[in-house]
């Protein structure tokens, strides 16, 4: 579905004669420095084919743009740049990271943005950008920068949410309560792996933008991409760190299971001793010897019970003291 379609002249949106955005795929002639920006969401094959025809896009790039399982990358086809970005957002209800995809075709006088799935709201991004004519003036590369910036900002938010999750896991692992944290740790590791797959491959395209190795990016623009690259670097450090922390937390979890088992075993043994020793005493007074003076005592029975109780009390005291109970 074509979501929006406009011409930008000196950084300002120009109303197209034909307001119907669905006709956007008819190429709009541009003046020097101007460009057309077509936004598409979950396109049909037919829509992609029309767009491809209008802007003369390479079939391999168009094929990739129709598929929402690309890895982040930048590719040059003639004078058109093709950029794939993964979008990430954190769903609080599920403690889960969701992924979407944005494909950008950036030509000398046009930008085509193809969004798959939810995530970053490109129309807000467009409206924000339209407020900043001095940025839009720089043409298609400014649009690419604005979108990359927004996508990477979302990465940072996701990173922050995962940091909170890891803190929770950490607390749970070291709490005295018996918790089975392995499922939680495993799930978080999976999420982190997913974030990594979005973040890591994007570093190479960013590096190329920063070093102005890509035609159309001058030094001034590169400075802005350096900012994005720096944020990306920060996210990737956060992610790496969380991964290592989770592994360490998991090891600590294993250690605690062992320690708890040990404590349980000692508690159980101490508890058993409290029963087994009186049983022995009972057994002794259950023997059938003819001559057992205690048996004839008036208070023999209370004496035996008292003996059992006091031996147990001594044991209890001993086990408490030595930390077994």
Question: What residues between 108 and 167 interact with a copy of itself by CB under 8 A?
Answer: none
Per DSSP, helices labelled H in the chain are 45-55, 59-65, 122-130, 133-136, 140-174, 182-199, 203-210, 219-284, 293-296, 300-321
Nearer to a copy of itself, 117 or 271 (CB): 271
Q: What CA–CA distance (Å, rounded) separates 116 from 122?
A: 11
Distance of alpha carbon 56 from the chain centroid: 37
Q: Answer for the pair 150, 229: CB distance below 8 angstroms, yes or no.
A: no
Minimum separation from the CB atom of position 271 to a copy of itself (A): 7
Q: What CA–CA distance (Å, rounded) separates 56 from 47?
A: 14
Minimum separation from the CB atom of position 42 to a copy of itself (A): 21
41 binds a copy of itself (CB under 8 A): no
Q: Which stretch binds a copy of itself (CB under 8 A): 31-39, 111-119, 139-147, 258-266?
A: 258-266
How many residues contact a copy of itself, by CB under 8 A?
83
Q: What CA–CA distance (Å, rounded) separates 118 from 191?
A: 17
User: In the structure encoding, which two tokens stand for residue 107, read together?
Assistant: 């030509």
Minimum separation from the CB atom of position 92 to a copy of itself (A): 22
Nearer to a copy of itself, 26 or 284 (CB): 284
* Out of 141, 143, 273, 325, the residue judged to bind a copy of itself by CB under 8 A: 273
* Out of 255, 309, 313, 314, the residue judged to bind a copy of itself by CB under 8 A: 255
Q: Which stretch binds a copy of itself (CB under 8 A): 98-106, 110-118, 120-128, 277-285?
A: 277-285
Minimum separation from the CB atom of position 20 to a copy of itself (A): 35
Q: Are strands 2-9 and 35-41 parallel, antiparallel or unpaired?
A: antiparallel
Site for a copy of itself in 286-325 (CB under 8 A): 286-292, 294-301, 304-305, 308
Query: In Å, how far are 269, 286, 301 from 282, measured between CA atoms?
Result: 20, 6, 10
Nearer to a copy of itself, 121 or 218 (CB): 218
Site for a copy of itself in 175-234 (CB under 8 A): 180, 182-183, 185-186, 189-190, 193, 197, 201, 223-224, 226-227, 230, 233-234
Q: Tokens 């023997």 map to which residue?
A: 287
* Out of 79, 218, 264, 310, the residue judged to bind a copy of itself by CB under 8 A: 264
Minimum separation from the CB atom of position 17 to a copy of itself (A): 36
Q: Answer for the pair 113, 147: CB distance below 8 angstroms, yes or no.
A: yes
Minimum separation from the CB atom of position 29 to a copy of itself (A): 28
Of the candidates 84, 52, 47, the one whose C-alpha atom is nearest the C-alpha of residue 68 is 84
Nearer to a copy of itself, 93 or 290 (CB): 290
Minimum separation from the CB atom of position 34 to a copy of itself (A): 26
Nearer to a copy of itself, 112 or 273 (CB): 273
Distance of alpha carbon 259 from the chain centroid: 31
Q: Rounded to the nearest 5 degrees, what angle is found at the Cα of 24, between the Cα atoms of 22 and 27?
A: 155
Minimum separation from the CB atom of position 86 to a copy of itself (A): 12
* Out of 118, 124, 211, 260, the residue judged to bind a copy of itself by CB under 8 A: 260
Q: What CA–CA distance (Å, rounded) separates 205 from 190?
A: 25
Q: Answer for the pair 111, 140: CB distance below 8 angstroms, yes or no.
A: yes
């Amino acid at each position: 579905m074509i979501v929006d379609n406009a011409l930008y002249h000196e950084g300002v949106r120009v109303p197209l004669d034909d307001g119907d955005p669905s006709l956007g795929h008819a190429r709009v002639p541009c003046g020097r420095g101007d460009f057309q920006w077509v936004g598409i969401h979950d396109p049909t094959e037919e829509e992609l084919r029309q767009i491809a025809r209008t802007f003369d896009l390479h079939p391999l790039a168009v094929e990739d743009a129709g598929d929402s399982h690309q890895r982040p990358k930048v590719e040059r086809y003639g004078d058109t740049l093709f950029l794939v970005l993964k979008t990430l957002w954190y769903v609080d209800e599920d403690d889960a990271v969701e992924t979407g995809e944005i494909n950008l075709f950036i030509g000398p006088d046009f930008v085509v943005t193809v969004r798959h799935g939810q995530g970053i709201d490109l129309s807000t991004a467009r409206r924000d950008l339209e407020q900043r004519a001095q940025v839009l003036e720089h043409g298609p590369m400014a649009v690419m920068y604005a979108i990359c910036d927004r996508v990477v900002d979302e990465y940072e938010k996701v990173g922050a949410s995962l940091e909170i999750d890891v803190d929770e896991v950490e607390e749970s692992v070291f709490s005295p309560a018996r918790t089975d944290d392995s499922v939680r740790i495993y799930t978080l590791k999976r999420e982190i792996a997913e974030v990594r797959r979005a973040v890591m491959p994007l570093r190479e395209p960013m590096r190329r933008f920063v070093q102005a190795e890509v035609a159309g990016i001058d030094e001034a623009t590169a400075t802005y991409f350096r900012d994005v690259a720096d944020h990306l670097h920060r996210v990737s450090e956060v992610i790496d760190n969380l991964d290592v922390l989770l592994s360490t937390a998991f090891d600590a979890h294993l250690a605690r299971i062992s320690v708890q088992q040990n404590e349980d075993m000692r508690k159980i043994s101490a508890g058993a001793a409290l029963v087994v020793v009186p049983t022995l005493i009972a057994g002794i007074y259950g023997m059938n010897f003819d001559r057992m003076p205690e048996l004839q005592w008036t208070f023999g029975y209370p004496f035996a019970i008292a003996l059992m109780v006091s031996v147990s009390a001594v044991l209890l005291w001993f086990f408490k003291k030595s930390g077994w109970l």
